[in-house]
Amino acid sequence: MFHNQLKPFREDFLWGASTSAYQVEGAYQEDGKGMSVQDLHESPEGITDFKVASDHYHHMKEDVALMSELGLKAYRFSIAWTRILPDGDGEVNEKGLMFYESLIDELNKRKIEPIVTMYHFDLPLALHERGGWANRDTVDAFEKYARILFQRFGKKVRYWLTMNEQNVMINHPNAMNPGRIPTKKELYQQCHHMFVASAKATLLCHEMCPDAKIGPAPNIVAIYPETCSPSDAIAADNWESIRCWLYYDVAVYGRYTPLVWAYLEEKGYTPEMMDGDLELLAKAKPDYLGLNYYATATVSAPKNDGTDCQARNGDQQVMVGEEGVYRAAKNPYLKQTAYGWLIDPIGLRVTLRRVYDRYHLPILITENGLGTKDVLTEDGKVHDPYRIEYLENHFQQAQLAVSDGVDLIGYCPWALMDLVSTHQGYGKRYGFVYVNREEDDMKDLKRIKKDSFYWYQDVIKKNYCS
Ligand code: BGP
């Protein structure tokens, strides 16, 4: 649809930026922090681990000052569960609480809305060793952790996100399960426990912090059929429901998507539930939806001949396609990044419209951004017109979605500053702020504002992207 007049972003639009604890903080063993599954992550040869990262733990005030200079209205970050409860559900670590309290105070002082993700891929190792999310006790541990956060920060934080990309943890479990990749049956059991844990945290948040809002933050993208063949359309429906809708349907409506339940039954993956689980899921209602968007996916009908599941771009870490369900297909209309990620700004508009039509809840874009190599030039600058172009195109589509009627409350690009990319360390950078380090060489960790920093500053000032 063409609009002669575009609607503006709302006055209180949350222009933000995102990070996550284990990718940005470093200080992995400091001040009583326990080990998480990410501390056991085996990086590919020549790629950094998460021990130092961008050393935000020691640069926190400087980093918040940069956020303020950028003009951010919001900052989305995650709390490391292991700083608060080093072994997941035992003693509370006051020093961990103090770190986040000073971060939150610093943000509030500068009128930057803290948006807190409670759990971003970094399950405490002690819980993992006891079965992790497959063990029902982890639900209780999460509830205990949530209670501590709401008690301490409930008056200072208005926006909470329960879990980052639950659907990625289930569909691409490698990075969160050191030791052994669980079977699909086990993963859907983990998934059910995550749903119950999120529902408990949501109810608790509403009870303990009546002025706060809470929601999930899955990775949601529209799925296109490769052709207008009805069989491709069914495959696209299959994958969109299994990959995306399940994670909002349970959170919003408290029920498993019927198509997904049929799939789980067909495959023998149905999770065990306890009495009262479905009632609990139905009772917990999110106030808004977080949405991480990078690019759409395109799929075709399965062949069901043993070849439907394949490695994406030859990367065995990311398997796509599922036997008898869908096959991954190429989209000839889209360009890709140097790392093979598709670029689809219009897909963002499609995704936002679909999500809003389905759930009628305010949406906050909790991640979106371009990961690529950046070069620090001799004059000490980083010229990243490619990032500006990427974000500008996406912001424009977001505004078109707003003009289509979507209630979009904010946009938090990934990432505020360079941080450790899951498989590519510092080779692949996302930030508005360059962090001067390489994989093994920590250099001076100096913060350098990229060209995109100044461009975003202007967008925020004008509440507009021309
Ligand atoms: C999202 C995760 C982030 C971040 C981002 C970029 O899926 O929520 O934590 O890692 O992807 O991906 P990558 O680090 O693989 O480049």
* Pocket of ligand 1 contains residue 38 by CB under 6 Å: no
* Pocket of ligand 1 contains residue 20 by CB under 6 Å: yes
Residues assigned a catalytic role: 165, 367
Name the percent of the chain lying above pLDDT 70: 99
CA of 144 to the centre of ligand 1 (A): 27
Average pLDDT for 380-386: 98
Burial class of residue 119, CB neighbours in 10 A (0-12, 13-18, 19+): buried
Tens digit of each residue's pLDDT (9 = 90 or more) over 174-217? 889 999 999 999 999 999 999 999 999 999 999 999 999 999 99
Average pLDDT for 379-404: 98
* Pocket of ligand 1 contains residue 418 by CB under 6 Å: no
User: What count of other Cβ atoms lies within 10 Å of the Cβ of residue 77?
Assistant: 26
* Pocket of ligand 1 contains residue 164 by CB under 6 Å: yes
Nearest CA to ligand 1 atom 6: 421
Which among 460, 462, 423 has a CA at the least distance from the CA of 72? 460
What does the pLDDT read at residue 318? 77
In this predicted structure, the answer to whether residue 293 has a pLDDT above a threshold of 90 is yes
Name the percent of the chain lying above pLDDT 90: 95
* Pocket of ligand 1 contains residue 414 by CB under 6 Å: yes
One-letter identity of residue 283: K
Determine the length of the chain.
466
CA of 422 to the centre of ligand 1 (A): 6
What does the pLDDT read at residue 300? 98
* Pocket of ligand 1 contains residue 300 by CB under 6 Å: no
In this predicted structure, the answer to whether residue 315 has a pLDDT above a threshold of 90 is no
CA of 323 to the centre of ligand 1 (A): 26
Burial class of residue 360, CB neighbours in 10 A (0-12, 13-18, 19+): exposed
Tens digit of each residue's pLDDT (9 = 90 or more) over 408-457? 999 999 999 999 998 899 999 999 999 999 999 999 999 999 999 999 99
The Cα diameter of the chain in Å comes to 64
DSSP string, 278-296: HHHHHH---SSEEEE-S--
Q: Is the pTM of this model over 0.85?
A: yes
Sequence-separated contacts (24+) of 225-234 with Cβ below 8 Å: 225/298, 225/299, 225/300, 226/298, 226/299, 226/300, 226/329, 226/330, 226/331, 227/300, 229/300, 229/301, 231/300, 231/301, 232/299, 232/300, 232/301, 232/329, 234/301
What does the pLDDT read at residue 161? 99
What does the pLDDT read at residue 175? 87
Residue of 414, 418, 420 best suited for mutating to test ligand 1, as the one with most atoms within 8 Å of CB: 414
What does the pLDDT read at residue 466? 63
* Pocket of ligand 1 contains residue 421 by CB under 6 Å: yes
In this predicted structure, the answer to whether residue 347 has a pLDDT above a threshold of 70 is yes
Which among 156, 147, 169, 51 has a CA at the least distance from the CA of 100? 156
What does the pLDDT read at residue 313? 75
CA of 317 to the centre of ligand 1 (A): 14
CA of 369 to the centre of ligand 1 (A): 10
Atom of ligand 1 minimally distant from the CA of 369: 6
What's the CA gap between 356 and 402, in Å, rounded? 10
Q: Name the band, by pLDDT with cuts 50, 70 and 90, for residue 52.
A: very high
Tens digit of each residue's pLDDT (9 = 90 or more) over 137-150? 999 999 999 999 99
Residue of 421, 423, 428 best suited for mutating to test ligand 1, as the one with most atoms within 8 Å of CB: 421
One-letter identity of residue 136: R
Distance of CA 371 to the CA centre of its chain: 14
* Pocket of ligand 1 contains residue 18 by CB under 6 Å: no
Which among 159, 163, 186, 160 has a CA at the least distance from the CA of 173? 186
Q: Name the band, by pLDDT with cuts 50, 70 and 90, for residue 66.
A: very high
* Pocket of ligand 1 contains residue 384 by CB under 6 Å: no
Nearest CA to ligand 1 atom 9: 20
Atom of ligand 1 minimally distant from the CA of 164: 8
Average pLDDT for 224-228: 98
Q: Name the band, by pLDDT with cuts 50, 70 and 90, for residue 257.
A: very high
C-alpha distances out from residue 323 to 45, 71, 183, 302, 304, Å: 32, 48, 15, 7, 5
What's the CA gap between 388 and 456, in Å, rounded? 8
What does the pLDDT read at residue 311? 87
What's the CA gap between 70 and 416, in Å, rounded? 10
Q: Are 364 and 288 in contact (CB under 8 A)?
A: yes
What does the pLDDT read at residue 42? 85
What does the pLDDT read at residue 83? 99
Q: Are 442 and 436 in contact (CB under 8 A)?
A: no
Which of 41-50, 113-122, 295-304, 367-376 is predicted least confidently?
Answer: 41-50
DSSP string, 80-115: -HHHHSTTSSSS--HHHHHHHHHHHHHHHHTT-EEE
Peptide bond into 415 cis (omega under 30): yes
What does the pLDDT read at residue 78? 99
C-alpha distances out from residue 423 to 136, 146, 310, 428, 438, Å: 30, 29, 19, 9, 14
Residue of 54, 119, 367 best suited for mutating to test ligand 1, as the one with most atoms within 8 Å of CB: 367
* Pocket of ligand 1 contains residue 292 by CB under 6 Å: yes
CA of 229 to the centre of ligand 1 (A): 33
Q: Which residues pair with 335 in a beta bridge?
A: 343
Where b means 16+ CB within 10 Å and e means fewer, 337-347 reads bebebbbbbbb
Atom of ligand 1 minimally distant from the CA of 371: 16
Average pLDDT of the chain?
A: 97
Q: Are 453 and 437 in contact (CB under 8 A)?
A: no
CA of 277 to the centre of ligand 1 (A): 31
Atom of ligand 1 minimally distant from the CA of 121: 9
Tens digit of each residue's pLDDT (9 = 90 or more) over 259-288? 999 999 999 999 999 999 999 999 999 999
Tens digit of each residue's pLDDT (9 = 90 or more) over 327-343? 999 999 999 999 999 99
* Pocket of ligand 1 contains residue 372 by CB under 6 Å: no
